[in-house]
Amino acid sequence: MADETAETGGADASGKRGTGPDQGPDRGRNQGRGPCPEAGPTRGRARVRGGGPGPWRGWRAAAEEALYGPGGFYLRPEGPAGHFRTSVHASRLYAGAVARLLVRVAGELRAAGDLDEVVFVDMGAGRGELVTGVLAALDASAAPGAGGGATGTGVPAGGPGTTHGPGGAGPGAGPGGARPEPGRLPEGVRLRAYAVERAPRPAGLDPRVEWVAEPPAGVRGLLFANEWLDNVPVEVAQVDDDGTPRYVEVRRDGAERLGPPVRGADAGWLDRWWPLRGPGARAEIGRPRDEAWAAAAGTVAAGLAVAVDYAHTAGARPPYGTLTGFRDGREGPPVPDGTRDLTSHVALDACAAAASGPAELLSQRDALRRLGVSGQRPPLALASSDPAAYVRALAGAGEAAELTARGGLGDFTWLLQGRPAGGY
């Protein structure tokens, strides 16, 4: 195997190029890919810039260092939004919908008993974009003349009877249902907002946001993990010519080889969640994600924990896995050199089983519709009665359509895990 190979440069999944939130591809389109040459053990070698190709290691250790080690991808100043965009970057509607969910959870907790503080946890927060958007949506709802109201952190506000039950756009939905107001937190309930991140706190972040390395334990409220679990490093397994699943080892330049047979808890996980059939079949061993999710969801004493990711479930696993890379707005080979994101779809059914509390899996399309976000166009009559509102509603409908699109962000999966009896 040659060590110094020109980077292959993978296909741009979305057909777009660019680096910013306006241009970068979302990461939900790298559905399971076929075998050789892309998925074989020699995939994606990169030209090594100093330091040599490095030692052979399992993918979990290699990705851990490449993403979170010194100079790692997620610690770089440009943050994830410099390389790809998530639903959070795509539209303010997304944070608005999450704020709405938080209001519902708070309403349910209040209905079940005393509640003076509700917590929102943005798990794997990037640069805090989601928690910032949630606070902004609640602030807007609380503004004089707004249809709903909410507290800023620590400020009691809101009127009674403003939480919403499941289904439908409910009160406050904008024309066409595209821009729902989140509504108000129950009267007298304070909001405490956390961002949980491995990267340092960004300058200029809303001072109401508490920036922490671990989710706070024992909280009541909503923990929301948008595209976090796909970045929890995992081992990769591949079946050899004799039918034995082996760990895939990788170097810093992306060259791969087959290592020792998969044993122990990893083998048990494959047997239960992703049985591999036939030489060349590959899988990402999701056990560390199950454990990470169980721990994060377990910090919610009462309320709801939500994980949103591109996912697969038993019976529909991709035969060759989905491990891929993202850099500068383009999808490319997964090379653990610290210059790019390394990501693979999440076995969210396994995560759900690992955590306690009732679980539901549904598409982002359905989840957002339940929260009042739809791509429905505003009625034409609005164009003559209130042209400005019509234009706003039309723009909102376009953004909602992107968040719920088939073949795009709408195909993401939401895992709702009630703690212990929450839901929406």
Minimum CB distance to ligand SAM, residue 225 (Å): 7
Asked if residues 240 and 280 have their Cβ atoms less than 8 Å apart, the reply is no
Question: φ and ψ at 230, to 5 degrees?
Answer: -65, -15
DSSP state of 87: H
Asked if residues 175 and 256 have their Cβ atoms less than 8 Å apart, the reply is no
Q: Which of residues 377-416 bind ligand SAM (CB under 6 A)?
A: none
72 vs 303, beta carbon nearer ligand SAM: 72
39 vs 199, beta carbon nearer ligand SAM: 199
Minimum CB distance to ligand SAM, residue 315 (Å): 26
Binds ligand SAM by CB under 6 A, chosen from 17, 47, 198, 272: 198
Question: φ and ψ at 250, to 5 degrees?
Answer: -140, 150
Binds ligand SAM by CB under 6 A, chosen from 137, 157, 199, 403: 199
Task: Assess 126 for contact with ligand SAM (CB under 6 A).
Answer: yes
Output b/e per residue, 202-215; b: 16+ Cβ within 10 A: beebeebbbbeeeb
| Pairing assessment for the beta strands 341-343 and 324-327 based on DSSP bridges | antiparallel
DSSP state of 285: E
Asked if residues 304 and 121 have their Cβ atoms less than 8 Å apart, the reply is no
Minimum CB distance to ligand SAM, residue 366 (Å): 19
- Which pair of tokens denotes residue 122? 């943005």
28 vs 177, beta carbon nearer ligand SAM: 28
| Pairing assessment for the beta strands 324-327 and 330-332 based on DSSP bridges | antiparallel
Minimum CB distance to ligand SAM, residue 280 (Å): 29
Q: Per-residue x/- marks for ligand SAM, 244-283, CB under 6 A? A: ----------------------------------------
Minimum CB distance to ligand SAM, residue 254 (Å): 20
Q: Per-residue x/- marks for ligand SAM, 55-74, CB under 6 A? A: -------------------x
Question: φ and ψ at 254, to 5 degrees?
Answer: 95, -5
Give the helix ranges, DSSP H, for 69-116. Answer: 87-90, 92-112
Of 170-178, 194-202, 311-319, 323-331: span binding ligand SAM (CB under 6 A): 194-202
Task: Assess 196 for contact with ligand SAM (CB under 6 A).
Answer: yes
CA distances from 359 to 17, 121, 230, 299 (A): 37, 19, 19, 16
Minimum CB distance to ligand SAM, residue 137 (Å): 16
Residue 146 burial (CB < 10 Å; 0-12/13-18/19+)? middle
Task: Assess 235 for contact with ligand SAM (CB under 6 A).
Answer: no
Minimum CB distance to ligand SAM, residue 244 (Å): 31
Size of the site for ligand SAM (CB under 6 A): 18
88 vs 262, beta carbon nearer ligand SAM: 88
Task: Assess 227 for contact with ligand SAM (CB under 6 A).
Answer: yes
Binds ligand SAM by CB under 6 A, chosen from 107, 124, 183, 334: 124
86 vs 151, beta carbon nearer ligand SAM: 86
| Pairing assessment for the beta strands 245-250 and 300-309 based on DSSP bridges | unpaired
127 vs 184, beta carbon nearer ligand SAM: 127
Task: Assess 231 for contact with ligand SAM (CB under 6 A).
Answer: yes
Output b/e per residue, 52-79; b: 16+ Cβ within 10 A: ebbeebbbbbbbbbbbbbeebbbeeeeb
Give the interface with ligand SAM as residue ranges (CB under 6 A). Answer: 74, 80, 86, 88, 124-126, 129-130, 196-199, 226-228, 231-232
